[in-house]
C-alpha cells in the first residue's frame, strides 16, 4: 500500500486555520488586524478565512469584522453543555453508586453512540470496572433509552443494525417504561439499566446507567436509577438551580 504523506503546505494551512479559529473565538478582527496578529501574509490569510467562512466556522459581524461562525458557535455550545452536564451529574452518579453498591455511569450522546462521561464506583465493594472509552450504539443495550425518543424513521434506520428479532417490540416497551435493560448485550455477563436524561427542551442528552453482575439488578434498582435520572433532568431545565445556588 502506498504511503500517504501530508505536504508541508497542507500542514501549514492547517496550522494557520487552527490559529485563526482560536483567535476568532475570543475577539472580532479585520483581515489586516488578523494578518498582523498571526504574521501571515494578508492574501494567504484571506484564502484561509474564506475557506473557514464557507465551512460555517467563521462569519462576519455587523461591521464586517471576522467573527465566529454558526458552526463554531454550535460546537462551542455543545462542549460547554457536555461539561456542564458532567459537572451537574457528579454527585448524582456518586450517590447512585453508593446507594446501590453498583457501578453507576452517565453516558452522553455523541451522534449515533453513547460514551461514558462520569463514572461512579461504590466504596469497599467489588463492582464492575467499566472501560472509559467503550462506545454503545443507540441500537444496542442502554443505547435504546435514547433511540426510543427519536423519530420513527431513525428508529427504523438504526434498528436495522440490531441483531434482535424483537427489536421494535422491545424499543416500544422501553419507550413506555422510559428505561432500557441490557442482559449482556454490550459486555457479556453484565446487566445494565439505562434511563434517559432529558434537557429543558425534552431532548435526550444522555443516559444514567447502573451496571452489575446480578441479573436481578433491574428488579432491585430500576426505580432508584429512574429517580436519580429525574433529578438530573430537573437540573438541566432552564429554571432549575445549579450546584452551589
pLDDT at 74 over 50: yes
Q: What element of type H or E holds 229?
A: helix 217-235
Is the model's pTM score more than 0.85?
no
Report pLDDT digits (tens) over 195-206: 999 987 788 999
Mean pLDDT along residues 136-152: 95
Which run of H or of E encompasses 88? Answer: helix 70-100
Q: Give residue 126's pLDDT band: very low, low, confident or very high (50, 70, 90).
A: low
Quick one: pLDDT band at residue 133, thresholds 50, 70, 90? low
The torsion defined by the Cα of 100, 103, 104 and 110, in degrees rounded to 10, comes to: -160
Residue 219 has pLDDT above 80, yes or no: yes
Q: How far apart (Å, rounded) are the C-alpha atoms in residues 24 and 27?
A: 5
- Identify the CATH number of the domain defined by range 8-68: 1.10.10.10
d(CA 47, CA 53): 10
> What is the CB-side half-sphere exposure of residue 34 using CA atoms within 13 A?
28
Q: Is 199 helix (H, G, I), strand (E, B) or coil?
A: coil
Per-residue pLDDT reduced to its tens digit, 78-98: 555 555 788 889 999 999 999
Question: In sequence order, what are the residues at sequence separation of 6 or more whose Cβ sits closer than 8 angstroms to the Cβ of residue 126?
Answer: none
Q: Which residue has the higher pLDDT, 211 or 62?
A: 211
For the chain, what are the domain ranges?
8-68, 76-235
- Determine which helix (DSSP H) or strand (DSSP E) holds 234, and give its type and residue range: helix 217-235
pLDDT average, residue stretch 137-142: 96
Query: Vertex 234, ends 182 and 181: CA angle to 5°?
Result: 5
Q: Among the CATH numbers 3.40.50.720, 3.30.450.40, 3.50.50.60, 3.20.20.450, which is that of 76-235?
A: 3.30.450.40
Amino acid at each position: 500500500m502506498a504511503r500517504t504523506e501530508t505536504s508541508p503546505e497542507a500542514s501549514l494551512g492547517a496550522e494557520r486555520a487552527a490559529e485563526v479559529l482560536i483567535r476568532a473565538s475570543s475577539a472580532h478582527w479585520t483581515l489586516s488586524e488578523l494578518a498582523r496578529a498571526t504574521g501571515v501574509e494578508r492574501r494567504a490569510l484571506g484564502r484561509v478565512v474564506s475557506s473557514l467562512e464557507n465551512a460555517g466556522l467563521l462569519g462576519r459581524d455587523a461591521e464586517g469584522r471576522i467573527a465566529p461562525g454558526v458552526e463554531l458557535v454550535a460546537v462551542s455550545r455543545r462542549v460547554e453543555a457536555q461539561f456542564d452536564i458532567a459537572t451537574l451529574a457528579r454527585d448524582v452518579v456518586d450517590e447512585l453508586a453508593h446507594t446501590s453498591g453498583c457501578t453507576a455511569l452517565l453516558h452522553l450522546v455523541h451522534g449515533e453512540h453513547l460514551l461514558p462521561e462520569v463514572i461512579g464506583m461504590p466504596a469497599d465493594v467489588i463492582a464492575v470496572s467499566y472501560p472509559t472509552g467503550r462506545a454503545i450504539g443507540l441500537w444496542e443495550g442502554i443505547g435504546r433509552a435514547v433511540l426510543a425518543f427519536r423519530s420513527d424513521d431513525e428508529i427504523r434506520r438504526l434498528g436495522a443494525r440490531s441483531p434482535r428479532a424483537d427489536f421494535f417490540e422491545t424499543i416500544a416497551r422501553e419507550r413506555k417504561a422510559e428505561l432500557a435493560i441490557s442482559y449482556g448485550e454490550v459486555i457479556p455477563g453484565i446487566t445494565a439499566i439505562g434511563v434517559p436524561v432529558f434537557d429543558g427542551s425534552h431532548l435526550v442528552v444522555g443516559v444514567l446507567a447502573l451496571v452489575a453482575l446480578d441479573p436481578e439488578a433491574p428488579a432491585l434498582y430500576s426505580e432508584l436509577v429512574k429517580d436519580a435520572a429525574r433529578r438530573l433532568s430537573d437540573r438541566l431545565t432552564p429554571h432549575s438551580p445549579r450546584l452551589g445556588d
